[in-house]
Amino acid sequence: MTNLRRCLRILGRSIALLLVLGMLASTVPRGPASTRAPIRVLISGAALPTSRTAVQAVGGVIIMALAHSQVLVADIPSSALPTLQAAGLHIIPDGMVTGAATLLDSATEPPTSLLYPSEAIGASALQQNGLTGAGVTVAVIDSGMPPLDKPDQWTQVSTNTLAYGVGQARLPSLSATRLFSESLPLPWFVVYKDLVTTTPIVNSADPYGHGTHVVATLADGRKANTPGFSKATVGIAPGANLVVVRALDADGRAPYSRIIAAIEWVISQRATLGIRVLNLSIQADIHGPYWFDPLNQAVMAAWDAGITVVVAAGNTGPRPATITVPGNVPYVITVGALKPGRYTANGIDALAQYSAAGPTESKFIKPDVVIAGSRVIAPLPAGSVLAPQAGLMREKAKLELPKFKSAVDLNYYALSGTSMAAAETSGLVALLLEDEPTLTNNQVKYRLITTAQVATDGQGNAAASVWQQGAGKVNPSAMITGTTTQAANQGLSLADDRNHENGTHYLGLTEYMSDTHAFTYPAPTVTLPGYNSWAGSYNSWAGSYNSWAGSYN
């Protein structure tokens, strides 16, 4: 087995090198000046001192050192690429990350009655039983959140960091002292950090809008006005503490380096702020094996720190092998999207066609679960870039947090994407951790996937393969009432996987049968026909998008 893993590691490095050489070649300018033109890259594959020495030896300029991920951001001469690659370093361009919202499947006409995220996924029943996510801190790395109504109550931690509800003695660094008392629970708090704006900030902001929709889906505490849901709120976990990091710019984009820096900051504040959940409603192109990618390395570092990382699968479906970064990390919870039955012809939930499907480039099954992601109703800031592209609802209200509201009324929009699905799942994880605070991230993942409901077609067949629906549709009630404390990710060593130089990297068990153009999975946990095989190829699928013959109840 050890020799096999070494062979797989060598093969993975070879494939990744070929992919990255191609990408870098396309970014290097032609002509005589190209040998002198600096290019911004991310460098990993060795300990930081080793990478630093190698970069400096070729005349490179180090921009940032990211310690948790063991990644350098540097400007290097393009002519230095072969030298650094020959030294065994992993190099990729500082590419772009975007939010995982989509214009596909957006509402052309508002529905006749509103159904907010908590109602659409069945979390409202948990709220009626008193679960709000209180005491659980959720970090969101996105495009920000709207300006709040009491800017004078923010405490200025630094030029780009604001906090409310965090003790004054702990504010200077927000890193040295654990925030939570062992005997007394703290009241609700929010921390906002802006990695985009270069001038000092005095309030939160979200020029793009994506982050507001994500935060509201996760935690908007405004009471629902839907008949039958009198005790429900718009968001899933309205009592959760929030740590919002603005990393996506006004166009909904961010370089890899900024997202990694945001994750590094969240990891550094994990103990101080009690961060248990990290929501990443983002997507980026695959650069090679999951472990080769520096953004994935940062995500793996967050999981290794004990944070439950919830990630969008990506909006690049419906074809196979379309899972995006960082959803291709095997350890995290990767979430795909459903189109709720209220928007389908037969009234039954269906897979959203934009939702990315597995297997991953390293043969793992993804997504892990699916949940309602189409036409999710939540607010966007007035004038935000994303607002004209979403489905405007006939409603306007303030986003409500326990101690703040948005400074102005916000229009509500129906927005689709695995971004929304990830936010809903992060909210549910917060409810679970409020109910069972001692669960580890691996135990949370196991509970989530083992209580999910596999989609069937009503005739004894799976409605979609495991590479499309994962373990199935998230079942909030079963998740909360479940009692298992088993852990996911068995057989994988995260410590070994994060070791580029002498570690072990993994492949999943998916097999592609070239003679039948089908994927198969040799270790099924569900034996429904059509679940553990997929009759398609990387370019086509000999099937259809069957509907969901089940419900949350």
Contact between residue 201 and residue 233 where contact means Cβ atoms under 8 Å apart: no
- What percentage of the chain exceeds 90 in pLDDT? 65
- Give the span between the Cα atoms of 309 and 267, in whole angstroms: 11
Q: Please state, rounded to an integer, the average pLDDT across all residues of the chain.
A: 84
Q: Which two tokens stand for residue 532?
A: 């553990």
Q: Is pLDDT of 264 > 90? A: yes
Looking at residue 106, its pLDDT comes to 57
Most confident range (mean pLDDT) of 11-20, 31-40, 186-195 is 186-195
Angle subtended at Cα 315 by Cα 359 and Cα 294, rounded to the nearest 5 degrees: 65
Residue 366 has pLDDT above 90, yes or no: yes
Instruction: Go through 216-236 and write b for each residue having 16 or more CB atoms within 10 A of its CB, e for each that does not.
Output: bbbbbbbebebeebeebbbbb
Residue 216 has a pLDDT of: 97
**Lowest mean per-residue pLDDT among 94-103, 163-172, 299-308, 410-419:** 163-172
CB atoms within 10 A of CB 69: 25
For residue 311, give both structure tokens: 């990630």
| Pairing mode of beta strands 190-194, 161-164 | antiparallel
Q: Which residues contact 349 (CB under 8 A, 6 or more apart)?
A: 338, 339, 340, 341, 372, 455, 473, 547, 548, 550, 551
The amino acid occupying position 54 is A
Average pLDDT on 273-281 reads: 97
More confident residue, 86 or 175: 86
* Cβ atoms of residues 292 and 264 within 8 Å: no
Report the distance separating Cα 307 and Cα 440, nearest Å.
8
How confident is the model at residue 227, as a pLDDT?
Answer: 62
* C-alpha to C-alpha distances, 244 to 138, 143, 249, 265, 422, nearest whole angstrom: 8, 9, 14, 11, 15
Q: Would the pLDDT of 22 be above 80? A: no
Higher confidence at residue 182 or residue 287? 287
142-196 pLDDT per residue, tens:
999 999 999 999 999 999 999 999 754 444 455 434 444 333 456 899 999 999 9
CB atoms within 10 A of CB 420: 33
CB atoms closer than 10 angstroms to residue 10 = 10
**Average of pLDDT values for 318-345?**
92
Q: Nearest to residue 381, comparing CAs of 410, 352, 360, 401?
A: 410
Q: Which residues pair with 77 in a beta bridge?
A: 38
Residues in contact with 165: Cβ distance below 8 Å, sequence separation at least 6, in sequence order: 186, 187, 188, 189, 190, 241, 403
The 10 Å Cβ neighbour count of residue 6 is 12
**pLDDT in the model for residue 167:** 55
Number of helices followed by number of strands (H, E) in the chain: 14, 23
Other beta carbons less than 10 A from residue 109's beta carbon: 7
Distance between CA atoms of residues 66 and 73, nearest Å: 8
Residue 335: which pLDDT band, with cuts at 50, 70 and 90?
very high
d(CA 323, CA 336): 9
The Cα angle at residue 315 between residues 527 and 292, in degrees rounded to 5: 85
Q: Where are the alpha helices (DSSP H) in 249-342?
A: 256-268, 270-273, 294-304
Report the percentage of the chain scoring pLDDT > 70: 82
pLDDT digit string (tens) for 205-235? 999 999 999 999 999 999 977 665 567 899 9
pLDDT in tens, 481-519: 999 999 999 999 999 999 877 889 999 988 888 777 788
